[in-house]
Amino acid sequence: MLTRRHIRIKVMQALFAYYQGESLDRQRALEGLNDSIESIYELYLYELRMFWQFHRFLEERLEIESNKQFSVQVRKERIQSLLDMPFMHALVHDEGLVGAWEKKRVFWGETVDVLRTAFFAFWNGEIESGWLDGEEELTEQDCIIWFKRFYREAMANNESIHAHYEEVSMHWADDLDAAQMMAVQTLQNAKRGKPLLVRLFKDASDEAFGASLFLKSVNAHEEWMDRIRSKADKWDYERLAPVERCIMEMTLTEVVNFSEVPVKVSMNEAIELAKQYGSEKSPGFINGLLDAMVADLKADGRIQKIGRGLIES
């Protein structure tokens, strides 16, 4: 499921697109935000679809080994052990997962060669290392450890797969870590016999967080820009990149409007976003400006925190 950081990234991108676009249609921008968040789930389903494709690949390897004139028995047994993994069977045949693929039309289709190239590279490495010809009997835990290594080495860090994702959606490069975290959780669920599919949001509060943060940020735009101008001289203000302004607007909105979120958390998240999307000097500059503006908001009584979100935290 998504973390609040992932949601903040999508809101920041939505604000950037909103202010850089020709139309200031809030409803349309909000729909775009929701679609962007929902697309993370589609990417997650593509990650899971790779497991189904790999199962087919293992079946092909087993058939090829079986038809060889001088087949290697231990290799066939090892491949069969992988195919017989309960959690592998679950990943391939789970009705909920298969239904989600069909509903979202998640199929690799003609681009499956991108996966097969990655499969073959990993497979050849396993042959060279001797792992596939090991004679010791594999336990289920051995199979799980191996499968996680396959996902990490062949899939998760594969540049060709990443390039394909970026062709599908320009935002998927930012979304991939979230989708992969959800895929790993699915592996854990399969191992434990739990329902496979991971929810996109932890709870109703997280589900509402993105839209609320976006709309409240847009509503407070003029105030936040005035406050930023008052704390930065004209030269510094004009040098602020649009993405930096979006980060600060969003952070100020969160500090004022989300009483359950500690100020420190909101500030730290702003700095992390500045590191990822701003210039080398962005984190320090944004941190200084936000510190000054938050101090003013506290003095004005605009920041009211509850529970774990006490203003001092």
Question: Are 140 and 271 members of one domain?
Answer: no
Which residues are within 8 A (CB) of 291 and not within 5 positions of it... i.e. 6 or more apart?
Answer: 267
Predicted structure pTM score: 0.88
Q: Which of 292, 254, 281, 256 is nearest to 270 (CA)?
A: 254
Question: Are 175 and 226 members of one domain?
Answer: no
Question: Are 34 and 94 members of one domain?
Answer: yes
Question: Are 25 and 106 members of one domain?
Answer: yes
Question: Are 134 and 229 members of one domain?
Answer: no
Question: Are 182 and 230 members of one domain?
Answer: no
Question: Are 173 and 256 members of one domain?
Answer: no
Which residues are within 8 A (CB) of 176 and not within 5 positions of it... i.e. 6 or more apart?
Answer: 43, 162, 165
Q: For residue range 246-282, what is the model confidence (pLDDT) as tens digits?
A: 999 999 999 999 999 999 999 999 999 999 999 888 9
Q: For residue range 281-304, what is the model confidence (pLDDT) as tens digits?
A: 899 989 999 999 999 999 999 998
Q: How far is CA 20 from CA 13, 24, 242, 261, in A?
A: 10, 9, 8, 29
* Cβ proximity of 79 and 58 under 8 Å: yes
Question: Are 107 and 230 members of one domain?
Answer: no
Question: Are 137 and 269 members of one domain?
Answer: no
Question: Are 246 and 129 members of one domain?
Answer: no
Range of the domain at 270: 220-309
Number of domains composing the chain:
2
Which residues are within 8 A (CB) of 265 and not within 5 positions of it... i.e. 6 or more apart?
Answer: 313
Question: Are 128 and 19 members of one domain?
Answer: yes
